[in-house]
Amino acid sequence: MMKKKGNKKKLLAGITLSTMLLGSAGVYAANDNAFGERLVGPQADGSVLVPANQLITPAGKQIEFGGNPISVAVNPNGKTAATIVGRNNYGGKGINIVDLSTGKLTTQDLSLGLSQMWGLAYSADGSQLYATGSSGTTGKVVVMSVSEDGTPTVKKSINLPKASVGGNINPLDIVVTQEGKLLVALNRDNSLGVIDPQTSSVTKVAVENAPTGVLVKGNLAYVTNQGGRTAKEGDTTVNSSGTNMVVDPKTGATSTGTVSVIDLTTNTVTKTVEVGVQPERMTQSGQYIFVANTNSDTISVIDSKTNTVAQTIDIKPYPKAAKGSAPNAVKMVDNKLMVSLGRDNAIAVYDWQGPKKTPELQGLLPTAWFPVDIAVDSQNKKLIVANADGIGSRGPARDLTIQGVKVTGKSSYAQIGSLSLIPFPSTEDLAKGTKQVFANNNWFGLKNLNAKPRHNKKPVAMPERVGEPSTIKHVFYIIKENRTYDQVLGDLGKGNGEPALTQFPKAVTPNIHKLASTFPLLDNVYTSGIQSASGHQWVMQGTNTDYEDKETDSANVRSYPGGAGDPMAYAPTGHLWDQAAKNNISVENFGEDTTGFTGSAPFGTWTDWYKDYQILSGQKEGELHVPIGNYSATYDIPSLGPITYKPFPTFDTNIPDQYRFEIFKQRFEEHVKNKDLPALNTLWVMDDHTAGNATGSPTPQAMVADNDLAIGKIVDLISHSPYWKDSVIFITQDDSQNGLDHVDGHRQPAHVISPWVKKGITDSHYWTVINMVRSIEQILGLPAMNQNDAAAEPMSELFTNKPDFTPYNFEPNQIPLDTLNGQPNANTAALANTEQVTTESKELSKKWTEWSNKNKNLFTGKHASPDEVNANMLNHSVWYATKGFDQPYPGDKQPLSPEEVQKQPESSAPNPANN
């Protein structure tokens, strides 16, 4: 009877799961925006809304702490577990220890003296704990002794050699052999490190590309090579941190994955097993090794007796799911395969009965944001899940008192991670959990949201279904850099703004203010990434790979693809332009995701490029210092080459956005003349990033004003053209890391501009860049690329079918664009906003100018890259330049020098990809 009851429960769970979509068509129709007007952060019902179109309602008991946990390990005695955060400047410092019987932290923020961290492993008797990470450019293994109560004490650090390609060797996962040797995945060296913790000796065993996970079974070690196999002649390759990776010839994303099998008695690779794309963590059960293939959404089951793949399990959290779950860790509990789904904020539970039978999905368990690792607490019968992004950027806020009014500003860097202690689930738990995961991800109504187009539908501005006709034929997608909503629009006078946090008010950004007042004011829109390396992926892919999310959370030691520059960061589902190409939609790209701007002529100064703009615009006569076409944008994504307009510059704050506008204008006018404007046009217009107080560069106010004027001119140009009648312009920041916002550090100033949008309204619905991507797809008839944009609603409520074709007239700049730092008299511009100019403020201004000059080569020229300079340092520099050197940065008691700011935890991490 018990067996029949169990089968009935299993049947009911299966019915619940398989019918969830079929019975939910009315849910989407009844609720055009699943998240309403909620603000990011904790909700009244106890859930938390994150800036990636997801609610989190984690199962079990939650343990929260500062930082982003990357790994979790259970002490062999079963009493405690350790977790380690990825970097020391996101709110946490190192190790946290939890008492598994009480679920309370017994040790918090134990510093390991590392700037970046990753792996954790206990010795067999639990008396030692080992961690991997880096201090600056040196990879390390930290050796700790563990007391009876589970408290670790640092004993020593083992310095690892440089990678064969130079720089940081980037140690990731670590395990301990029965003999007490340490096995470490040396990610940038493409090797496995075999380390004797007593002598600190290191032996390297060559494996394939970008090893990440390590597992020991007897005298064999299994190593996942996340970057895949070694390239062969004829392969399409793209460089990733010194290694040429095999990639998809179109998308440029890595396309292979392997597991190296190593005989530990001889330290030789005995076999290489082909698995799915970007394999990461593994687990074993009996003779089988289970491998999480993150970019394939599969689990490879390796038979250790033959070291061949015995089974491949498709990971689909709902029927016919697109790729995008990002399975990144696995564990086996009582023949139940537990799979961490990083992008779905869930644990998928499969009933596994051997490799000859397809496992059944039993259900889902909700976790916090972005689960990355699983450990098993056998004594208390619980899963321990490390949630890297936890509850989001909800860490300590920075307070400021202005004229007696206290203002709270939040930064995207103030991360709170968590552990979820989840009891082994019953059938009822899985049924309840599955329903909750569906609600959290807006999967109810997917069938309706992605329904097939209907025939003979009249064109409307925003079609109800993808593939139905739109009155809009041309989309412009403009990406800017790094500003929060409050920094720019806090002074608008309407909407949810905080004037005290405004650094670039109407006098600096007259066009952004006018656009926000003329077209819909959007005061509840969020970037999904924290910095450019993740931000540009979200903006152009509608998702972010597990690899890049962890790179962001662990200090970007391997790479910093601030737009592009690393094929491991590219999603297997491609970019917007790839989806357009699949569907025969024309595209042209201006700067976005390009990697450089090179030519034979001398590059010159900002002033040289500004004079070129003046010549191009007819304000001056003379020869251009760089003829158009001499400099050309470079790229590493194959599909980007044919569609990129090469004379348009990539990221470089040494080139004014007025020059970018003139280049775009020439090309746009060609399209008007030839009547051949592409349907999708992507533009990277980025000088609102600023170059701090660097001498010879414009002041932050002037750079933001330059960007504002360029945006105004672009809208003006389009709106006075024949294409205005059937165009829409979407404007977003890639991220909003360089400022504070009173709602959340991810909130941004975003715009939707068209004759076909409602004018003068304030729309406070929750939107993210994923909704922008979905809106572009909806208008152009592009099917969703992945799970994220498949679940995102288009921004339909902003549109109207009664167009207003009144053109937009740009507002001229109110401050000179050529106001340069340090000229004509040193620090004059930087001190312009300081009410009480004293000897102290002059000296402080001088020091920040010196700091900016020291880092100028990272803002301009061939080494320029988004966010290479530490964000906390740049944010202080720009704050003083815009608010005055007598105004403390929020959270500080007084104005600080660069040396004083450098001591803050937020300023302690290495620069991105400083290896």
**Which pLDDT tens digit goes with each residue over 233-245?**
999 999 999 999 9
Looking at every residue in the chain, the average pLDDT score rounds to 92
Mean pLDDT of the region 546-561: 94
Peptide bond into 824 cis (omega under 30): yes
> Are the beta carbons of 548 and 759 closer than 8 angstroms?
no
Return all residues near 171 (Cβ < 8 A) that are at least 6 apart.
118, 119, 132, 133, 134, 139, 140, 141, 160, 184, 185, 186, 187, 193
**Predicted local distance difference test score (pLDDT) of residue 91:** 86
CATH T-level assignment (fold) for domain 448-798: Alkaline Phosphatase, subunit A (3.40.720)
Between strands 727-733 and 474-480, the pairing is: parallel
Please give the C-alpha separations between residue 442 and each of 27, 317, 805, in angstroms, as whole numbers: 10, 13, 35
**Is residue 1 scored above 70 in pLDDT?**
no
**Is residue 13 scored above 80 in pLDDT?**
no
The phi-psi region of residue 464 (left if phi > 0; otherwise alpha if psi is between -120 and 50; otherwise beta) is alpha
**Is residue 18 scored above 90 in pLDDT?**
no
Sheet holding 152-159, edge to edge: 116-122, 128-135, 138-146, 152-159
**Predicted local distance difference test score (pLDDT) of residue 915:** 73
End-to-end CA distance of the chain: 63
3-class DSSP state for residue 540?
A: helix
**Predicted local distance difference test score (pLDDT) of residue 7:** 42
Tokens of 451: 């329904």
Residue with tokens 């956005």: 657
Q: Half-sphere exposure (CA, 13 Å, Cβ side) for 293?
A: 29
**Is residue 521 scored above 70 in pLDDT?**
yes
**Is residue 32 scored above 60 in pLDDT?**
no
pLDDT band at 549 (very low <50, low <70, confident <90, very high): very high
Rounded CA gap, 626 and 182, in Å? 55
Between strands 191-195 and 182-186, the pairing is: antiparallel
> Are the beta carbons of 541 and 841 closer than 8 angstroms?
no
DSSP 795-830: -GGGB-SS---PPP-PPPPSS-TT-BTT-SSTTTTT
> Are the beta carbons of 336 and 351 closer than 8 angstroms?
yes
**Is residue 255 scored above 80 in pLDDT?**
yes
Rounded CA gap, 887 and 896, in Å? 10
List the single range of 4-8, 15-19, 271-275, 374-378 with lowest mean pLDDT: 4-8
Q: Half-sphere exposure (CA, 13 Å, Cβ side) for 676?
A: 5
**Predicted local distance difference test score (pLDDT) of residue 408:** 83
Rounded CA gap, 700 and 832, in Å? 12
Comparing 747 with 869, the larger pLDDT belongs to 747
**Is residue 24 scored above 80 in pLDDT?**
no
> Are the beta carbons of 94 and 111 closer than 8 angstroms?
yes
Mean pLDDT of the region 712-722: 98
Comparing 909 with 676, the larger pLDDT belongs to 676
Mean pLDDT of the region 706-723: 98
pLDDT band at 732 (very low <50, low <70, confident <90, very high): very high
Between strands 80-85 and 336-341, the pairing is: unpaired
Share of the chain above pLDDT 90, in %: 82
Tokens of 142: 């930290």
Mean pLDDT of the region 322-349: 97
**Is residue 826 scored above 50 in pLDDT?**
no
Question: pTM of this prediction?
Answer: 0.93
Helix ranges (H only) for 554-693 are 576-582, 606-616, 657-674
**Predicted local distance difference test score (pLDDT) of residue 412:** 86
Comparing 404 with 617, the larger pLDDT belongs to 617
Helix ranges (H only) for 654-736 are 657-674, 700-719
The tens digit of pLDDT for each residue in 465-485 reads: 999 999 999 999 999 999 999
**Predicted local distance difference test score (pLDDT) of residue 281:** 98
pLDDT band at 402 (very low <50, low <70, confident <90, very high): low
Between strands 521-522 and 751-753, the pairing is: unpaired
Rounded CA gap, 458 and 801, in Å? 11
**Is residue 726 scored above 80 in pLDDT?**
yes
**Predicted local distance difference test score (pLDDT) of residue 90:** 84
Share of the chain above pLDDT 70, in %: 93
pLDDT band at 208 (very low <50, low <70, confident <90, very high): very high
- In the chain, the amino acid numbered 297 is D
Please give the C-alpha separations between residue 806 and each of 169, 198, 469, 476, 775, in angstroms, as whole numbers: 58, 76, 23, 18, 23
Closest-CA residue to 718 (of 731, 710, 729, 707): 729
Q: CA angle, corner 600, sides to 595 and 605, nearest 5? A: 75
Peptide bond into 425 cis (omega under 30): no
Rounded CA gap, 139 and 185, in Å? 11
pLDDT band at 912 (very low <50, low <70, confident <90, very high): low
Rounded CA gap, 706 and 693, in Å? 16
Question: Dihedral angle at the C-alpha atoms of 710, 711, 712, 718, nearest 10 degrees?
Answer: 100
The tens digit of pLDDT for each residue in 839-852 reads: 888 899 889 988 88
Mean pLDDT of the region 751-767: 98
- In the chain, the amino acid numbered 179 is E
Mean pLDDT of the region 487-498: 96
**Predicted local distance difference test score (pLDDT) of residue 913:** 66
**Is residue 104 scored above 90 in pLDDT?**
yes
pLDDT band at 535 (very low <50, low <70, confident <90, very high): very high
Element (H, E) at 80: strand 80-85
Question: Dihedral angle at the C-alpha atoms of 574, 577, 580, 581, nearest 10 degrees?
Answer: -90
**Predicted local distance difference test score (pLDDT) of residue 871:** 84
Mean pLDDT of the region 320-343: 97
Rounded CA gap, 681 and 580, in Å? 11
Rounded CA gap, 78 and 80, in Å? 6
**Predicted local distance difference test score (pLDDT) of residue 27:** 32
Rounded CA gap, 478 and 686, in Å? 9
**Predicted local distance difference test score (pLDDT) of residue 606:** 95
**Predicted local distance difference test score (pLDDT) of residue 636:** 95
Mean pLDDT of the region 3-28: 40
Q: What are the extents of the domains in the chain?
A: 448-798
In 112-151, where do the E strands start and end?
Answer: 116-122, 128-135, 138-146
3-class DSSP state for residue 747?
A: strand
**Is residue 768 scored above 70 in pLDDT?**
yes
Quick one: how far is CA 903 from the chain centroid?
Answer: 26
Closest-CA residue to 229 (of 205, 214, 209, 243): 209
Rounded CA gap, 330 and 337, in Å? 7
pLDDT band at 693 (very low <50, low <70, confident <90, very high): confident
